[in-house]
Chains A and B, each alone.
Chain A
């Protein structure tokens, strides 16, 4: 699986958009970009994933650059409950494969 690089931590004001970047310059053509988050003392939660096109669901939007070497997860209106560690993971899109977690970005949403 391709390696990812994320900032260690970020702050965001409540109600504002949170933009979390991820670099994955060695991504292969058949690898997807997945985002998970882990709220303190809980198991990780799936957020969104994409291959080439931008994706949006009820939780977030995923913007993938045209060369696919980086992506941004957008939480459009961050709330205090969005405070968590966000993990960007790149891997082949097979549900049977395990996930390799990097350090992630610790997002702190402040009132």
Chain B
């Protein structure tokens, strides 16, 4: 099946620093990618929709100036957590839909665990 990768798989940073997370579709092109956040023992919550060549669409309550999304190519979307604080510590997951693929399913990355000290 199609593969989506994320880098890094985990990161620890100090409060106030910025962290960039990459999401790549390895063997297919994705004009749209989705970013989710998951806190411990909770379900995935959609943060934003990343669109290649245009601005991202953010869900209500998600600060666009804090979570910067850049979808620079058909295989890469990046999420930058700016001025990270301990409350931003979470599991960040991206997904990309495989249009026309069997089942029209979405493929998820392995996730990035962010810990802000």
**Which residues in chain A, 6-63, are within 8 Å of chain B measured between CB atoms?**
34, 38, 41-46, 48-49
- Given the complex, which residues of A lie within 8 Å of B99, measured CB to CB? 95-96
Q: How many residues of A contact B (CB 8 A)?
A: 23
- Interchain CA distance A94-B1 in the complex, whole Å: 18
Residues of B within 8 A of A (CB): 1, 4, 6, 32, 34, 36, 43-46, 49, 91, 93, 95, 97-101, 103-111, 113
Complex-state Cα separation, A104 to B41, whole angstroms? 11
In the bound complex, do residue B46 and residue A42 qualify as a contact, i.e. CB atoms below 8 Å apart? no
Report A-chain residues with C-beta under 8 Å of the C-beta of B95.
43-44, 98-99
Residue of B1, B34, B36, B105 touching A49 (CB-CB under 8 A): B105
Beta-carbon contact of B32 and A46 below 8 Å: no
Task: State whether A95 touches B106 (Cβ < 8 A).
Answer: yes
Given A41-B111, A41-B113, A43-B111: A94 in contact with B43 (beta carbons within 8 A): no
**Least Cβ–Cβ distance between B8 and chain A, in angstroms:** 14
Q: Given A44-B93, A96-B32, A101–B44 Cβ distance below 8 Å?
A: yes
**Known contacts A95-B97, A95-B101: does B46 contact A45 (CB below 8 Å)?**
no
- A76 interface hit (Cβ, 8 Å): no
A34 close to B105 (CB less than 8 A): yes
